[in-house]
Amino acid sequence: MKNLFYEFCSRAIDWIFRVRTTGALLLKGGLLLLIGIAAVDFAFQVNYRDKESSLNLQFGTGGALPDSIVYIVVGIAALLLISGIYVMWRDDRRERRQLLIVVEVRGLHGTVDTPSVKVVKTKFRGNRHPVVVDFRPNRNGELVNPELMLSKIEGMKLTVDSLSQGRDKSDVFVAVGGIAAVPAMFLVGKIFEDESHIHLYDWDRDLKCWKMIDRPDDGKRALPLVVPTLSPADTEIVLAVSASYPVDDVSVGAAFRGLSVARLSVDTPRVNSYWSEVAQQAFAAAFRDSIQQLMGLGIRRIHLVLAGPVSLVVRMGSMYDDRLHPELIVYQYEKSSTPPYPWGVAMPTHGSPSPTIHKLKVPAAGAADVGT
């Protein structure tokens, strides 16, 4: 009930403080001028004769102002009305030729089948085109096929490029969301890092619906990066990021024996959080700064284990700079697997322009074997 009340208030505030278009403002100005000149030019006369005790009242719609002033004001009002109609027609024509590509990634068994294409960015008036990336396992308990995942994401990129071809870049918007493995969503964010009109959405677990990331800033920020003492020989490290759930320390230790672990987290990791774009941007910036801090300590490869909302993972992926940052491998968590992080996706780098699957071997006690 609390969330429904918040939703009602949020929509009411958006309607009250909605941005008026230039065309609507011109139309409003023209109408107000016409109403104003009619009111000011309203003539009222009273004639009273004392001897005859007579009273004569006269009302008129003209005569209070000189005709020249009336004509000038009416001309300006007409110009505003015509300009407003033209601007609204022009804006509507441009909106109709705009394209919103709604990318929905489905990668986990049993996830929702509710299409997102109709419910994200409801105020968008142009054309919509869904791009569904589906690599869900067929049966419950079956793990994600990483090779199929990469193939589907590659096909997604080709589809988006094809839909955008021949259009002005300012007329193409992309909305990205879904429910899928962390490495997949991080890679999707990396792929769309150069797109200027990217909008993120996520599944609201309380309201059971897709929602844009557009709530007010909740003030949630990442804590400072915690880095263990490193030796000059340390060139690899595990970066554990806890945003929605605490990362399982036991699983990290079992999968990455012999590697030091740096930690980035918030005070209280919570599921169904980070609906504020400002808060997401701040956390993603803290993640980027953490990578740069580790790079300054001589780290050349980072093994990333991450627990966070899908939309935040996508935004973090867009922050990774393959030209400047160390090698980054983003892992999938499978609690029942041995090791608990069986595989990851090595992000594209300056030396390897395509993402690759990185599989962990079961390490021997006291050894660190992170495989290929």
SS3 13: helix
For the chain, give every domain's residue range: 22-95, 99-212, 236-359
The dihedral over CA atoms of 162, 167, 170, 175, expressed in degrees to the nearest 10, equals -30
Strands 236-242 and 301-307: parallel
Bridge partners (DSSP) of residue 304 are 239, 330
Q: Is 254 helix (H, G, I), strand (E, B) or coil?
A: helix
> Does the predicted TM-score (pTM) go above 0.85?
no
Please list, in sequence order, all residues whose beta carbon lies within 8 angstroms of the beta carbon of residue 122, skipping any fewer than 6 positions away: none
CA angle 262, 266, 268 (to 5 degrees): 125
Which residue shows structure tokens 């609906």?
Answer: 275
pLDDT digits 0-9 by tens, 84-115: 887 777 766 666 678 999 999 998 876 677 88
83, 203, 205 from 272: Cα distances, Å: 46, 8, 6
Segment holding 75, helix H or strand E: helix 67-97
The yes or no reply on domain 99-212 and CATH 2.40.50 is no
pLDDT computed for residue 177 by the predictor: 94
Which pLDDT does position 62 carry in this prediction?
52
On whether the CB atoms of residues 307 and 246 are closer than 8 A, the answer is: yes
Segment (H or E) for 103: strand 99-106
CB 262 within 8 A of CB 242: no
Residue 90 C-alpha from the chain's centroid: 28
Beta bridge partners of 237: 302
- Residue 110: phi and psi, rounded to 5, are 80, 10
DSSP string, 334-357: -TTSSSSS-EEEEPP-SS--S-EE
Q: From the first residue on, what is the mean pLDDT of each consecutive set of 10 residues in the chain (372 residues)?
A: 54 48 78 73 50 53 63 80 78 74 88 81 85 88 89 94 87 92 96 83 90 89 94 94 93 92 93 90 96 95 96 96 94 89 92 88 56 52
pLDDT given at position 44: 46
Which CATH number is correct for 236-359, 3.40.50, 3.30.70, 1.10.730, 2.60.120? 3.40.50
Query: What integer pLDDT is reported at residue 366 of this predicted model?
Result: 47
pLDDT digits (tens, 9 = 90+) for 307-341: 999 999 999 999 999 889 999 999 999 888 888 99
In this structure, the strands spanning 54-60 and 43-49 are antiparallel
β-strand pairing of 343-346 with 356-359: antiparallel
- For residue 168, the model assigns a pLDDT of 83
CB 368 within 8 A of CB 257: yes
**Could you give the CA distance from residue 247 to residue 4 in angstroms, rounded to a whole number?**
31
99-212 against 236-359: fold identical: yes
